[in-house]
Amino acid sequence: MGSVASYFGQLCGGEKKKEEERHLRANDRPFNLSYHYANNAIKTSKYNIFTFLPCNLFEQFRRLANAYFLFLMLLQLIPQVSSLSWFTTAVPLILVLSMTAVKDASDDINRHKSDNQVNNRIVNVLIDGELRKEKWKNVQVGDIIKLESNQFVTADLLLLSSSEPLNLVYVETAELDGETNLKVKQALTVTGDMGMYRIVEATGEVRCEPPNNRLDKFKGTLSLDGQTYSLDNDKVLLRGCTLRNTEWCFGLVVFGGPDTKLMQNCGKTTFKRTSIDHLMNVLVLCIFGFLASMCTALAIGNAIWEVREGSVFTVFLPRDEGVNAALSSFLSFWSYVIILNTVVPISLYVSVEIIRLGNSFYIDWDRKMYYPKNDTPAQARTTTLNEELGQIKYIFSDKTGTLTQNIMTFNRCSINGKAYGDLLDFSGNRVEITEKTERVDFSWNRLADPKFMFHDHSLVETVREGNLEAQAFFRLLALCHTVMPEEKKEGELYYQAQSPDEGALVTAARNFGFVFRSRTPETITAVEMGREVTYELLAVLDFNNVRKRMSVIVRSPEGKLTLFCKGADTIIFERLHPSCDKLKDITIRHLNEYAGDGLRTLALAYKDLDERYLEDWKQRHHEASTAMEGREERLDELYEEIEKDLLLLGATAVEDKLQDGVPQTIEQLAKADIKIWVLTGDKQETAENIGYSCNMLREEMKDIFVVAANTAEGVKEELQKARRKMCPNAADEPSVIKARAGLFWLQRTETVQDEKVDGDYGLVINGHSLAFALEKNLQMELLRTACMCQTVICCRVTPLQKAQVVQLVKKYKQAVTLAIGDGANDVSMIKAAHIGVGISGQEGMQAVLSSDYSFAQFRYLQRLLLVHGRWSYLRMCKFLRYFFYKNFTFTFVHFWYAFFCGFSAQTVYDEWFITLYNLVYTALPVLGLSLFDQDVNDRWSFQYPQLYTPGQLNLYFSKKAFVRCMLHSCYSSLILFFIPWAAMQDTVRDDGKDIADYQSFALLAQTCLLVVMNIQLSLDTDYWTAVNQFFVWGSLAAYFAITFTMYSNGMFLIFTSSFPFIGTARNSLNQPNVWLTIFLTSLLCILPVVAFRFILIQLRPTINDKVRHKMRKEALPVAKPGAPYRKRISTRRSGYAFSHSQGYGDLVTSRKFLQRLPLWSRPALFTQTDSPLAQNQPQHYRTIAEEPEESQSP
């Protein structure tokens, strides 16, 4: 019984017991299943076959209007109340519910397909001592699985062993943190030494932290053979990673499916609704209140009339038995509820769904958002958010794969004062390089990388001519690095680089004739201009964040000792010999040009060493490295000593290739007053470089603040310091406006006001600092400071932090947000934002599957927002204003008529006109307006991005706009009722016969109404098409055709009770005074509108008015060509932008690093429990002589 109760508790959303510690045993499924840990199946869908109908109906009836129409339908089943048939409400309601249900079902079926595709992937699982192929969804916690190269990691695994030396594996974590460079993970020695036979029998126990979303932390212990070993993040492979350059590895499943760190970071799938949806819910509630007050007033009027006048009519209109004035008043209240329900017609929601669907198709069909290279069209994956695209205020963008292409290219270089890489024409002007530009032919080099592209032929000629400086330049690039080579076939080299830019430099050296071929812990083998040369590797002075450089000391075959150094230019220039001053000035000029183009730069230098000096230096280094006190300081002094008086060779410029059109897109969006924040998992240096490349960060900015403190107090101090510099007079506490919003005004909102700042500022904040800044007591400080800045870049952020930043802005700025990304690390951000956009990029499809819209290139975002978004918002607002106007006008005429019919709930129009008014007569014209209208075309939208700002301010449809619609309707209804009434009151036909009867008046009133509505629609239409013309004139033609048909003798004879208006049309519409009345009524309704709009345009023209005026006077702007090259000089240059890990040089010089062992047996590789890499200890320098396993020759 308890289990049944717990099942229903979980089904209804009850919380299950919180896990405090995970305890599992390898190869023991019964033990692990007793803890009821989640298996490896994932679920992103919302419904199943049993829950779809109740859950979907519940979601739909949360829309207040749907619940209202259900109530109305039930009311119409009561014959004493209803004057209209129940099916007039039931049929449209069922249609709306069905359309929405089909759309939701389609969306969820796609999610099910995506889930099944992932859950049914195959992996090798160790079961009963043998490897079996199992589906991912059947993998359980505690299973041992075998992964092979290029496979996705199935679940969160504890790494046990691998095919690589030192039990290393290389993983690509692009879907987790956006970085494409390979990460190194290492198993414990005790598990790595096991052969497969021992792994089969392993019964180790793991105790670790419960499931959480921290990607960079893992704490646990492994108990094996009576010993306990510490576990950390370096020994764990996370789901979402891809195994690279590793033949195989074994792992123990620690977390599966929803418990994995990737899924913990994904966030919940929420039901997204637009701000217009929320506003309509509030307006519908107000309309209900207004409807109730109208019905109450008319019911009171009915009671008064029944008491004062009703008794006179009982002679020929006797009351039903038991009905008195009070009961009659009560029944008339509900009768008027039915008659006046057209203030919120159900056709409104049908039309809204059709409009959204139509505007979604425009996005799907847009050829200008189609990417032919990958055959990828833009896709609107949801149809309910189109108009929200026209109201975006904040964009949160990933960097890697979203702004950039994930491709590093060796772009330009400066060697001995000469710049290479630019192409110049005869007049010395720079020529833009395109895909058609002739490439350098590297066919002379059999080891060249065929994918490498370079266009400056002079550099190849310089190298091949034997220029010593050029050859030394590329020799340095081939020797000074930590890249691992792999040569599966003769001549086919693959480089395992820990950072993509370092890989690009080694590949460049390879193509220019200096090929890094292989390495041992003591040697580096290179092929220099076709000749194989082996250098003795004496030492690696490794990179760290303070040094910002790395060096190697090598001995050539001729016995020459050389120190090669590369690093951040500012660091290298401080250590140059005075003889290089002139060359340094020329190189700085080149570096400024490279930085102006957003390239990542490094300076290269070398130094010849004396044999005796090096021996003495090594001895002193050994003493310093074994010192008990002041070790770090003494080592730093030694590094400074040997890395001075360097001779400059030149500089490199590597391009982190942006996607096409990214800077222009960001510039356009900024002009539209859209703020862009970059949230990336990359390191700060890399993120800043891209910020400059995209022109988000500019040297003209007054200041760029960097927040990198490691304590909450430090973060607070840095944020306050930045804020006070931007706005010295700002109050200490933010200006917060508290209000109520939502249905029944139950939701409390707090809005932080924008603060004015003179000039442009930028903010860069690190992930560890952001963690403090997102705490409750610092949230406001972060928000205030960030919103003052033109550009915000958050680096080293986790997926969850991305979502938290989005939610912070949503909560306190009350602005519409958009998140755009391309990897699994962006999913939580995409789900948290009002609108999520997925890039179909190189990091898989997780972001696309969770998104609302998707396309292949970031540059398409400007078209999505400035064209489709703006048009959708404009069309929806016009539709709503017109729809409410026409229905309030229609309903108010009933209200005025009640005073002339004894409040008897008699309709002023023919019943068939009431039925067809919204379904036939006015449906198509307003749909034409809502699907085809555009104030300006797409080119003018790009020419003037400022046209986008009214949407951000909700200027086109708001509560104020709604009240104006009501007042306009009230005026129109007074004209439409009293002018025909006064004109018909004492009117006779040409032949003297009377036409002042109810049916003639009803016909005249409804004809005037329809004519005025069509003229008003025509005034609202800015862009006429043949379809619009057809719909407007067709609806009027249909009205007269249907009216004459239904009022004909034939219809009366066939259906006498249904068509009582026999002959009314031909009796009235052949009279000139009737047509004069129609003309007069239309004139009185429309003339004030025209006059008001004319005066408004003259006195207070909007940006739309100005652009449309300019559009009429000027020719259509041509599509902007590719911007001509503008040479930009920058004194700001990137530092050492490599994504290195400190201590990686130690791994390179490890004696047994390159020994690969078979799968079935593996002896101990080294004596210590774990390597320094796994312990993440600083390893600044290491010589071969220090290797403990074997004796070394110096």
Strand partners, 168: 186
Mean pLDDT over 50-55 rounds to: 88
> Which residue from 727, 725, 678 is spatially nearest to 703, judged by alpha carbons?
725
Q: Are 707 and 769 in contact (CB under 8 A)?
A: yes
1184 pLDDT more than 50: no
Sheet holding 182-186, edge to edge: 182-186, 168-172, 242-244
Beta-carbon count within 10 A of 806 CB? 26
Residue 961 near residue 985, CB atoms below 8 Å: no
Query: pTM of the predicted model, to two decimals?
Result: 0.77
Is 425 in the active site?
A: no
Binning pLDDT at 50, 70 and 90, where does residue 1054 land? Answer: low
More reliable by pLDDT, 778 or 216: 778
**Above 60 in pLDDT, residue 1131?**
no
At which residue do the structure tokens 């049914």 appear? Answer: 120
pLDDT at 805: 92
Distance CA 852, CA 854 (A): 7
Q: Is the pLDDT of residue 1136 over 80?
A: no
Strand partners, 761: 703
pLDDT tens figures, 863-895 = 999 999 999 999 999 999 999 999 999 999 989
Residues 669-680 have pLDDT tens digits of 999 999 999 998
Q: What is the DSSP letter of 1081?
A: H
pLDDT at 566 over 50: yes
What's the CA gap between 228 and 1062, in Å, rounded?
Answer: 98
Are 674 and 691 spatial neighbours (Cβ–Cβ below 8 Å)? no
What's the angle, vertex CA 724, arms to CA 723 and CA 728, rounded to 5?
130
Give SS3 for 279: helix
Which residue do the tokens 């010593």 mark? Answer: 468
Q: What's the one-letter identity of residue 491?
A: G
Would you state the structure tokens that stand for residue 978, as one six-digit string? 């009293």
Task: Name residues whose C-beta falls within 8 Å of residue 57's C-beta, 6 or more positions apart in sequence.
Answer: 97, 101
**Distance between CA atoms of residues 903 and 912, nearest Å:** 21
> What number is the average pLDDT over the span 257-285?
79
How confident is the model at residue 1176, as a pLDDT? Answer: 33
pLDDT of 1191 reads 35
Coil/strand/helix, residue 359: helix
What's the CA gap between 588 and 1055, in Å, rounded?
95
Closest-CA residue to 104 (of 381, 434, 448): 381
Please list, in sequence order, all residues whose beta carbon lies within 8 angstroms of the beta carbon of residue 622, skipping any fewer than 6 positions away.
1186
Tokens of 771: 């963690």
pLDDT at residue 3, rounded to an integer: 40
The arithmetic mean of pLDDT across residues 39-55, rounded, is: 86
State the average pLDDT over residues 52-56.
89
pLDDT tier for residue 83 given thresholds of 50, 70 and 90: low
Which tokens hold the place of 975? 């004209």
pLDDT in tens, 701-740: 888 999 988 888 999 999 999 988 888 887 777 777 776 6
For the cut 70, the answer to whether the pLDDT of residue 842 exceeds it is no
Over range 1044-1053, report the average pLDDT. 71
Partners of residue 23 on adjacent β-strands: 207
User: Residue 320: what pLDDT?
Assistant: 66
Indicate whether 922 pLDDT > 60.
yes
For residues 1006 and 1046, is the Cβ–Cβ distance under 8 A? no
For the chain, how are helix, strand and coil distributed in percent, rounded to 5?
45, 20, 35
- The 10s digit of each residue's pLDDT in 358-408 is 999 999 999 999 999 888 899 998 888 899 999 999 999 988 777 877 778
Q: Between helices 347-365 and 64-76, what is the axis angle to 10°?
A: 140
What pLDDT is stored for residue 593 in this prediction? 85
Query: Measured between alpha carbons, how far is 1049 from 79 in angstroms, rounded to an integer?
Result: 30
Active-site option among 104, 143, 177, 398: 398
4: pLDDT strictly greater than 50:
no
Cα atoms in the 13 Å half-sphere on the side-chain side of 112: 11
Angle between helices 275-305 and 325-339 (to 10 degrees): 150
User: Which of 589, 607, 592, 614 is CA-nearest to residue 649?
Assistant: 607
Q: Which residues pair with 162 in a beta bridge?
A: 249
% the chain with pLDDT above 70: 85
For the beta carbon of residue 372, count every other beta carbon within 10 angstroms.
9
| pLDDT, greater one: 290 or 685 | 290
* 8 A C-beta contact, residue 140 and residue 253: yes
Model confidence at 861: pLDDT above 90: yes
CB distance 1066 to 1044 below 8 Å: yes
- Residue 217's pLDDT is 82
pLDDT for 267 equals 60
Which string of DSSP letters, residue by residue, matches 432-490? PP-TTSPPP--TT-TT--TT-----HHHHHHHHTT-HHHHHHHHHHHHSS--EEEEEET
Mean pLDDT of 765-776: 88
Q: What does the pLDDT average to over 994-1003?
A: 76
Residue 845 confidence (pLDDT): 64
* pLDDT band of 930, cuts 50, 70, 90: very high
Amino acid at residue number 194? M
Measured CA to CA in angstroms, residue 339 lies from 190, 281, 291, 644, 897 at distances of 82, 21, 10, 92, 12
Query: Per-residue DSSP letters for 950-1003?
Result: HHHTT-SSSHHHHHHHHHHHHHHHHHHHHHHHHHHHT-B-TTS-B--SHHHHHH
Q: Which residue has the higher pLDDT, 208 or 489?
A: 208
Residue 178: pLDDT band with limits 50, 70, 90? low
Inform me whether the pLDDT recorded for 970 exceeds 70. Answer: yes
Which residue in 1120, 1107, 1180 sits closest to 1149, CA to CA? Answer: 1180
Relative to beta strand 430-431, strand 484-489 is unpaired
Task: Say which range, 494-498, 935-939, 1151-1155, has the weakest mean pLDDT.
Answer: 1151-1155
> How high is the pLDDT of residue 1061?
67
Cβ-based neighbour number of residue 636 at 10 Å: 15
Q: State the Cα–Cα distance between residues 821 and 825, nearest whole angstrom.
A: 8
Helix axes 87-119, 347-365, angle to 10 degrees: 40
Using N-to-C axis directions, what is the helix angle for 611-625 and 631-642, rounded to 10°?
Answer: 160
Radius of gyration of the CA atoms of the chain, in A: 38
3-state secondary structure of 774: coil
H/E run at residue 789: none
Number of continuous H segments (helices) and E segments (strands) in the chain: 43, 38
The pLDDT of residue 1059 is: 64
Beta bridge partners of 130: 127
* pLDDT at residue 694 is higher than 60: yes
Q: Which amino acid is at 87?
A: F
**Calpha distance 732→724 (Å, rounded):** 9
Contact, 27 vs 142, CB < 8 A?
A: yes
* pLDDT-derived band at 541, boundaries 50, 70, 90: confident
pLDDT tens column, 939-954: 999 999 999 999 998 8
pLDDT higher than threshold 80 for residue 79: no
| Strand stretches in 7-61, DSSP E | 22-25
pLDDT for the residue numbered 954: 87
Q: How confident is the model at residue 1063 (pLDDT cuts 50, 70, 90)?
A: low
The average pLDDT across 275-292 equals 84
Q: Pick the residue with more confidence: 1154 or 652? A: 652
Side chain identity, residue 48: N
